[in-house]
């Protein structure tokens, strides 16, 4: 039952397959991974200090997100779930925009068209249908762009996701389905979700599925780049299963110690996505120590920025709830908006 698992960089930092990344690109991946982890750890700490209502940690999944996020072209579009903080970073979003959502001070977050990055989907799997619809639209308009939608292993049990697979196959939509298989759908382990590799499901819908070491940023980038190129050239959808592990809780309201063997996390810590790239760079890049020091300083500045911004996020104007929904606001909603405005 074996689809092969693509890997370029092993957990011990040894290259097990050829790659064509430049030294500058390898450094760029290292910088992204470090800064993405800092965004996540800073937001987690802010939530624990009562500054955020909730946070969905991505610890351990950075390579899956950075590798795929950096494969995107400017005109590609992303439909994320609620955990793709590193992909948002790759699309140019200030992480403060993410904090505003989880602090409850934003009624939307950002303009998706500006960043090619939709607002997070909280309903599990719903974004996969949105992505396919967008992709079909690209085809009808004759555009050669692609769409990526992110979801976890649990979403593959949702009807929406399977309907999205069917529609994407039927219309040959330019969509890359990117599943971060982190082994748990909240508390439900992978073996309760599927008896075959997730990527293998794609064959039943009529398009290819591939598996990749989700903690190997180089392999993830290569696999995603190939799937995106295929989509843009009219080759249709691909399902990527990035095999990774959720090192922390599902969200900050979750306690994984109630349903997980702690030794699992210890084993996966040895496959840390940052560590393996660091080992490679320490061995092959003579100037890495100096560069790494610069990245650490940048991470400290980013952490300070997030702490300062979070405490100063303004409360939203509730009247903004009525904006950006209708092209022409119906009279009854105009009346409701004016009533809300009268409260202030």
Q: Which pairing describes strands 188-189 and 184-185: parallel, antiparallel, or unpaired?
A: antiparallel
Distance CA 77, CA 80 (A): 10
Cβ neighbours for 194, distance < 8 A, ≥ 6 positions apart: 153, 156, 157, 201
Measured between alpha carbons, how far is 8 from 237 in angstroms, rounded to an integer? 23
Q: Are residues 283 and 301 in the same domain?
A: yes
Task: Please state, in angstroms and rounded to a whole number, the distance separating the CA atoms of residues 300 and 283.
Answer: 25
How far apart are alpha carbons 62 and 48 in whole angstroms? 21
Q: Which of 19, 48, 259, 283 is catalytic?
A: 259
CATH number at residue 34: 3.40.50.970
Say whether both 332 and 267 belong to one domain: no
Neighbouring CB atoms inside 10 A of 254's CB total: 17
In the block, tokens 């974004």 appear at 127
Record the pTM: 0.95
Place of tokens 């991974």: 33
- Is residue 257 domain-shared with residue 279, that is, in the same domain? yes
Q: Are residues 156 and 33 in the same domain?
A: yes
**Same domain (yes/no): 146, 236:** yes
pLDDT at 19: 96
Let me know whether 279 and 333 are in one domain: no
Q: How far is CA 26 from CA 5, 9, 32, 186, 288, in A?
A: 21, 12, 10, 33, 10
Same domain, 124 and 154: yes
Catalytic, 250? Answer yes
Cα of 114 vs its chain's centroid, Å? 18
pLDDT for the residue 1: 53
The tally of domains found in the chain comes to 2
Instruction: Check 70, 83, 250, 276 and give the catalytic one.
Output: 250
Q: What is the DSSP letter of 117?
A: B
Q: Can you give the pLDDT of all 344 residues of the chain as single tens digits?
A: 579 999 999 999 999 999 999 999 999 999 999 999 999 999 999 999 999 999 999 999 999 999 999 999 999 999 999 999 999 999 999 999 999 999 999 888 899 999 999 999 999 999 999 999 999 999 999 999 999 999 999 999 999 999 999 999 999 999 999 999 999 999 999 999 899 999 999 999 999 999 999 999 999 999 999 999 999 999 999 999 999 999 999 999 999 999 999 899 999 999 999 999 999 999 999 999 999 999 999 999 999 999 999 999 988 888 988 988 899 999 999 999 999 999 97
User: What pLDDT sits at residue 321?
Assistant: 87
Whether 259 sits among the annotated catalytic residues: the reply is yes
Same domain, 339 and 304: no
- Name residues whose C-beta falls within 8 Å of residue 78's C-beta, 6 or more positions apart in sequence: 69, 72, 84, 87, 91, 116, 117, 118, 147, 148, 149, 150
Residue 327 shares a structural domain with residue 232: no
User: Which residues fall within 8 angstroms of residue 278, CB to CB, at 6 or more apart?
Assistant: 13, 30, 292
Q: Do residues 287 and 331 both lie within one domain? A: no
85 is catalytic: no
Q: Which of 211, 246, 271, 276 is catalytic?
A: 246
Instruction: Report whether 165 contacts 202 (CB < 8 A).
Output: yes
Q: What is the pLDDT of residue 193?
A: 87
Q: Are strands 147-152 and 175-181 parallel, antiparallel or unpaired?
A: parallel
> The tokens of 114 are what?
């500006």
Say whether both 176 and 325 belong to one domain.
no
Q: Is 344 exposed, middle or buried (0-12, 13-18, 19+ CB in 10 A)?
A: exposed
User: Quick one: tokens of 213?
Assistant: 């070491």
Q: Are 273 and 327 in the same domain?
A: no
Residue 91: DSSP 8-state:
T
Dihedrals phi, psi of 290, to nearest 5 degrees? -65, -45
76 touches 146 (CB < 8 A): yes
Per the structure, the complete domain to which residue 109 belongs is given by 5-313
């Amino acid at each position: 039952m074996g689809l092969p698992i693509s890997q370029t960089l092993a957990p011990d930092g040894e290259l097990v397959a050829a790659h064509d990344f430049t030294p500058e690109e390898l450094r760029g991946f290292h910088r992204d991974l470090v800064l993405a982890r800092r965004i996540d750890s800073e937001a987690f700490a802010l939530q624990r200090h009562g500054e955020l209502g909730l946070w969905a940690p991505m610890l351990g999944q950075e390579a899956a997100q950075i590798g795929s996020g950096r494969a995107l072209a400017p005109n590609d579009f992303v439909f994320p779930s609620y955990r793709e903080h590193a992909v948002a970073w790759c699309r140019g979003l200030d992480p403060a925009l993410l904090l505003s959502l989880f602090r409850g001070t934003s009624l939307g977050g950002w303009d998706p068209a500006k960043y090619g990055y939709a607002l997070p989907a909280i309903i599990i799997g719903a974004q996969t249908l949105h992505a396919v619809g967008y992709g079909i639209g690209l085809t009808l308009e004759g555009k050669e762009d692609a769409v990526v939608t992110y979801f976890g292993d649990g979403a593959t049990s949702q009807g929406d996701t399977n309907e999205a697979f069917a529609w994407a196959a039927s219309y040959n939509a330019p969509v890359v389905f990117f599943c971060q298989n982190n082994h748990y759908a909240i508390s439900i382990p992978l073996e309760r979700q599927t008896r075959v590799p997730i990527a293998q499901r794609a064959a039943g819908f009529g398009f290819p599925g591939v598996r990749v070491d989700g903690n190997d940023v180089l392999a993830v980038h290569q696999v995603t780049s190939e799937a995106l190129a295929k989509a843009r050239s009219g080759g249709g959808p691909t399902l990527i299963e990035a095999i990774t592990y959720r090192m922390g809780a599902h969200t900050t309201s979750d306690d994984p110690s109630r349903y997980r063997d702690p030794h699992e996390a210890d084993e996966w810590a040895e496959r840390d996505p940052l560590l393996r790239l660091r080992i490679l760079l320490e061995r092959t890049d003579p100037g890495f120590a100096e560069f790494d020091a610069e990245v650490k300083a940048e991470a400290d500045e980013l952490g300070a920025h997030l702490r300062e911004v979070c405490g100063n996020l303004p409360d939203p104007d509730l009247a903004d709830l009525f904006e950006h929904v209708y092209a022409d606001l119906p009279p009854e909603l105009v009346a409701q908006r004016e009533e809300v405005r009268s409260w202030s």
